[in-house]
Chain A
Amino acid sequence: MHIPDGFLDAKTAVATVGLSVIGVGVALRNVRHQLPRRKVPLLGLGAAFVFAAQMLNFPVAGGTSGHLVGGVLTAVLLGPGAALIVLTTVLMVQCFMFADGGVTALGANIFNMGMIGGVGGYAVYRCVSGIFPGMRGRIMAAAFAAWCSTVAAAIVCAGELAASGTVAWSVAFPAMTNVHMLIGIGEALITSVVLVAIARANASLLEPHISQPEKPGYVHAVIFGLLVSCGLALFVAPFACRWPDGLEEVARTLGFEHHMATQPLVHSPLSNYQLPGISSATVATSLAGVIGTAIAFVLAFLLARALIPGTNSERT
């Protein structure tokens, strides 16, 4: 899901860089307030851990393999603010040292995988684990959040590509969403298996021990919520509510339009064409997404039951 260079136009790149700079800034403040000094090295080790974990390949059917992305896993283990910093550094290293993910797309990648995938996924995790208590509920919440965050990040990614005029929404949305609904299953499975392994060895590690949940930063949570909704409003809403020039309107009010003028090349007007059957594909994908979310919820529940046996969920 790493967007390379050349796929985003100036207005999208600037908007995503803005959103992620604010997001990482808030995370830095949050961590600086709540992080005990002896936990500082854990950020670096956590980043190395995510990197190393991403290199382990899990066999999937047909000789293909997948690997962990780790947004929700990191957020559950380290807390959301620390997770965003860890994921940001991982993405920076991947971008500058491996050329995996573009320099101009770094903001978008941090927004998609760090803020939507990590912090957004953590929000889902907290909501679900609040409803279903105990270790089993936590595993279920993590699995469901991992699936949701993968799909949500893919949808926002499709929105960014469409907003840049690189790939039409009617193509990008079904393709990205359908593929990532499958990838998300793998992510959910790996996340929950890893969390169960950690819980068996040392259950106290599952408490997010950097950002203390006892004193949640409500202000920070609100800012994160605002940033994520800004991103959704910019990159998904214009397409989802059939408002073709919505982004241009937003760009005009925010004063980006002169950037758009310098971009004659990858500018395919989104509203000017409609392939036959495409609008129904968008609707079908949205429907499949809703049904898929329900199925993922049930599957996460069953997975947690299978992984944490016994009626008393506080066993471990």
Chain B
Amino acid sequence: MGHFSLDRHSRLDSPVHRVGAEAKLAMALAIVLLTVMLPFTEPIFFTTVGVVLVAVAVISRIPPSFLIKRLLLLETLVLGVAALAWLQPNGGLVFAAIMVKSTICLLTMILLSNTTPFSELLGVLRWARFPALIITTLALMYRYLSVLLDETDRMSRARASRTFTTRRVHVWTTLGTVIGQLFIRSTERAERIYAAMCARGWK
């Protein structure tokens, strides 16, 4: 099966994983909103949230190396934009505020997605009366993402075993063909999925 998963550690067993998805989603949204809204002049809040998040991370038994790697990866993207903030008068303070706030938010969302299975999050969305079309799209996307990624892998392997040139132009055109082929296969798969859905009484 897939080498790639959206919610890799979400099916571990820990006290955090056992909390209901609604509660976790609500908590995460509350933390993010408060973090973004509160002025940076209240260090007590930010330290408390930081300590709580680290505690949750430890209890959840998610491998710390995974968390740190993911955090650092996303932090580089944040740094890119935050560096611009440094270039303005008293940018240092704005920069520090942005970094602290976005780190807290990133950690919150990483913990949420790795302690809650995607299907349970979808259940919350359904309960919150999200448009059905979006929920169907999300569910199908979640189901078939790993399938498409595997297919991409197979096509890339097939290409690598057949093409010997490494000229950049060729790499671009072959990669373009791989993506184009991926789209064609997606449309064909969608037709088959529709037939399968109808066969199972989808309305």
Contacts and interface: CB of A to CB of B under 8 A. Distances in A.
Interface of A: 2-8, 10, 13, 24, 28, 31-32, 37-49, 51-53, 55-56, 58-59, 68, 77, 85-86, 88-90, 92-93, 95-100, 102-104, 161, 166-168, 171-172, 175, 189-190, 193-198, 200-202, 205, 262-266, 268, 273
B106 A4 contact: yes
- Considering the complex of A and B, which 3 residue pairs feature the smallest CB-CB distances, nearest first? A44-B140, A193-B176, A197-B180
Interface stretch (B11-19, B55-63, B90-98): B90-98
Given A5-B35, A104-B33, A77 B183 contact: yes
B182 A5 contact: no
Contacts of B110: 99
A6 B88 contact: no
B35 A6 contact: yes
Please tell me the size bucket of the interface on B: 35 or more
B88 A5 contact: no
B148 interface: yes
B1 to A, nearest CB: 15
B90 A268 contact: yes
A47 B97 CA distance: 34
7 contacts: A38-B191, A38-B194, A44-B141, A56-B156, A89-B134, A99-B70, A104-B36
Given A4-B81, A197-B177, A198-B180, A264 B39 contact: yes
A95 B109 contact: yes
A46 B140 CA distance: 10
B136 A44 contact: yes
B176 A167 contact: no
Contacts of B139: 44
Contacts of A194: 176, 179-180, 183
Contacts of A5: 32, 35-36, 101-102, 105-106
